[in-house]
Amino acid sequence: MSVVIGVLVAILVFGLIIFIHEFGHFTAAKLCGVKVDQFAIGMGPAIFKKQKGETLYALRLLPFGGFCSMEGENEESDSDRAFCNKKVWQRIIIVAAGAFMNLVLGFIVVVIMISVQDDITSTQISWFEDNAASHNSGLMLGDEIKSINGYHIFSEIDMSYQLQSDEDGVFDFVVERDGKKVELNDVEFSKKDKVLHIDFKVLPIDVNPLTVCEYSAKTCVSYARLVLVSLKDLVLGKYKINDLSGPVGIVDVMSGVVGDYVEDSGIDWYRLIQQLLSLAALITINVGIFNLLPLPALDGGRLVFLIIEGIRRKPVPAKYEGYVHATGLALLMALMVYITAHDIFKLFG
């Protein structure tokens, strides 16, 4: 039962994220006067098509991916409504709009997630357990944690990530104490069964429109930075390519989340929705940030060529840009095939 619900939830989440991304391109294109030939959600053969005006709207079989096909996007055109004939700044807006809308969606999801909580988790210490190692080595009640091992702390997500990713249980903190920043070196935590034991609690904050907006923005920054930090760790070898997950792996994670909160006695809707909202926010922000990376075949790669065109005041020859994006797309598809195959092997292995 949890697997079926997990798959349905994953399809809905992916569908919404893809729709928002492509709708960003679509809306920006329309506002800039570009003709949109086709707006599609999903990939593969179409299971539903409808022509409305100049645009063909399609729902395709595979619920991952989508596209907004514009006239003059990948070829030359004499039409003044072609993408290729619009000003550079207009094309930059159109290309960046998809990722921007993913980030906007992430913020909205986080706002909803935080708004339904009883309180907001801060980064200010409000309690220590008896004989707490961290208290004995420098932390005090009222300290607001600003950084851990040089990693700036925006939210409790940053704090949890940095504390749990360390190995020796010894940290360098920067805290705000009585209005001043204080550096605390070699703050220690105990370990239980090789797991770091967090021996303090932080102050809860009342939920109101101001605190929701503030902490939603901080949470989105934390999620976005996690994407970049994870990519850096992957490049530096801290993580291996087999640690990556694709759509199949994400479906498995969602099924696990659903299974945790679906019991014979009923469904813990509050905790289930909170966890799913958190996952959805992380995924859509991940998609937004990843698409802005300056890599071939991604929106970020196309932005690089547009910026170069703006600086040079003439476009890079289309055939060379096409070669770069085609190569990047082939490599990206090969990576996705590998990750998907590995996810399936882990699922059934």
Q: What is the pLDDT of residues 166-191, one digit of tens each?
A: 778 899 999 999 999 999 999 999 88
User: Is residue 223 situated within a structural domain?
Assistant: no
User: Is residue 344 situated within a structural domain?
Assistant: yes
> For position 193, what pLDDT does the model report?
75
Hey, what amino acid is at 6? G
Q: Which helix (H) or strand (E) holds 136?
A: helix 133-136
281 lies in which domain range? 2-116+245-295+304-348
User: Is residue 230 situated within a structural domain?
Assistant: no
Last residue of a domain, one of 205, 225, 253: 205
In Å, what is the CA distance from 218 to each residue of 53, 163, 215? 42, 18, 5
The catalytically annotated residue of 22, 71, 73, 321 is 22
Residue 165: CB atoms within 10 A of its CB come to 14
Please answer whether residues 102 and 285 qualify as being in contact, where contact means their C-beta atoms are separated by less than 8 angstroms.
yes
> For position 220, what pLDDT does the model report?
95
111 lies in the same domain as 254: yes
pLDDT in tens, 95-141: 999 999 999 999 999 999 999 988 999 999 999 999 999 999 999 99
> For position 328, what pLDDT does the model report?
86
Q: Where residue 193 sits, what CATH number does that domain have? A: 2.30.42.10
> For position 1, what pLDDT does the model report?
58
> For position 147, what pLDDT does the model report?
96
> For position 43, what pLDDT does the model report?
87
142 lies in the same domain as 191: yes
107 lies in the same domain as 147: no
Last residue of a domain, one of 205, 234, 255: 205
- Locus of tokens 């596209």: 67
> For position 67, what pLDDT does the model report?
92
Total number of domains constituting the chain: 2
163 lies in the same domain as 193: yes
18 lies in the same domain as 90: yes
94 lies in the same domain as 164: no
User: Is residue 219 situated within a structural domain?
Assistant: no
Q: Is 73 a catalytic residue?
A: no
Least-confidence region, from 117-126, 209-218, 269-278, 309-318: 269-278
| Residues of the chain above pLDDT 70, percent | 96
User: Is residue 56 situated within a structural domain?
Assistant: yes
22 lies in the same domain as 105: yes
Give the pLDDT band of residue 62 (cuts 50, 70, 90): confident
> Looking at per-residue confidence, does 139 or 250 come out higher?
139
pLDDT in tens, 1-36: 566 777 788 888 889 999 999 999 999 999 999 999
Write the CB contacts of 9 (distance below 8 Å, at least 6 apart in sequence). Answer: 254, 258, 276
Write the CB contacts of 41 (distance below 8 Å, at least 6 apart in sequence). Answer: 15, 18, 19, 22, 58, 59, 60, 66
